[in-house]
């Protein structure tokens, strides 16, 4: 089964954000603000990419969607960060309606080989456990008979951390949350052309059967000032505790995230 991950790296879609902007130009200005992009790049370098490099099953495709208006120096920085990860494919697109653009992008790298498609999304400030691709594929194989009766089935790994990096290290809160984007997979029927972005992650259970996988470090939600979910009203508070040496070792073993690298990048 082909495994496809999708990351929208500040792609200025029409729709798809919890916080709206009055014009497309306003959205692009927000997404490409230098302070915001600097923070995204640091999270991407310290959280997202190490977790991809550390996958125990390296048979996957990771599609990064960017806007065709992303300034050249930012695109070059992105390309340099991922050049050692052969699974990464970068696609540049003009602004389009969110769900349709994401579906077509995923289908452009999907094999349509008669097998179910396993897909996940990963924000550019989040990470997945190093066993995620392997466990997602294992779950997909185990569910193959059942999944044949449905257009799609969700596979939700619900255990992990909210994590905030800084010049002093990483502070975390352990969590169990259902249907968070990080470590939430979807199994698509061979004949269906919908993708992981055609459904709001919080409402997967409304549209398909879901299976919950618990008790493994798989979710890592980056905590920062520019989280889309933190821009609105009624933002929930988190209680973060700095990791000690044992915690840093667990972060390295579970996500391939190196606390010393975090200190170096965020202390620059």
Cα first-last separation, the chain = 41
- Taking residues 14-40, report their average pLDDT: 83
User: Which pLDDT value is given to residue 267?
Assistant: 95
DSSP conformational letter for 97: B
Class of domain 2-266: alpha beta
- What pLDDT is stored for residue 175 in this prediction? 97
Q: Which residue has the tokens 């709001």?
A: 200
Q: Count how many Cα atoms sit within 13 Å of the Cα of residue 38 in the half-sphere of its side chain.
A: 7
Instruction: Tell whether the model's pLDDT for residue 20 goes beyond 70.
Output: no
Domain ranges in the chain are 2-266
Angle value at C-alpha 127, between 159 and 168, nearest 5 degrees: 100
Q: Which of 59-63, 119-123, 205-209, 260-264 has the lowest mean pLDDT?
A: 205-209
106-133 average pLDDT score? 96
Q: Helix (H) and strand (E) counts for the chain?
A: 10, 12
């Amino acid at each position: 089964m082909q495994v496809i991950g999708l990351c929208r790296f500040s792609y200025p879609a029409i729709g798809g954000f919890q916080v709206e902007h009055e014009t497309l130009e306003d959205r692009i200005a927000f997404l490409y603000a230098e302070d915001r992009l600097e923070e995204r790049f640091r999270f991407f370098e310290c959280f997202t990419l190490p977790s991809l490099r550390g996958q125990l099953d390296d048979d996957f495709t990771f599609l990064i969607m960017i806007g065709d208006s992303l300034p050249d120096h930012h695109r070059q920085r992105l390309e340099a960060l991922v050049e050692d990860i052969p699974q990464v494919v970068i696609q540049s697109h003009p602004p389009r309606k969110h769900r349709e653009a994401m579906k077509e992008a995923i289908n452009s790298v999907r094999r349509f080989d008669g097998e179910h498609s396993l897909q996940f999304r990963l924000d550019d400030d989040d990470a997945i456990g190093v066993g995620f691709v392997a466990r997602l594929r294992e779950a997909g194989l185990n569910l193959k008979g059942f999944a044949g009766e449905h257009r799609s089935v969700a596979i939700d790994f619900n255990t992990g951390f909210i994590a905030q990096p800084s010049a002093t290290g990483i502070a975390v809160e352990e969590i169990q949350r259902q249907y968070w984007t990080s470590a939430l997979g979807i199994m698509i029927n061979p004949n269906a052309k919908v993708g992981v972005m055609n459904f709001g992650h919080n409402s997967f259970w409304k549209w398909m059967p879901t299976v919950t996988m618990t008790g493994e470090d798989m979710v890592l939600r980056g905590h920062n000032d520019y989280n889309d979910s933190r821009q609105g009203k009624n933002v929930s508070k988190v209680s973060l505790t700095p990791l000690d040496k044992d915690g840093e070792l667990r972060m390295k073993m579970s996500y391939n995230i190196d606390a010393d690298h975090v200190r170096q990048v965020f202390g620059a």
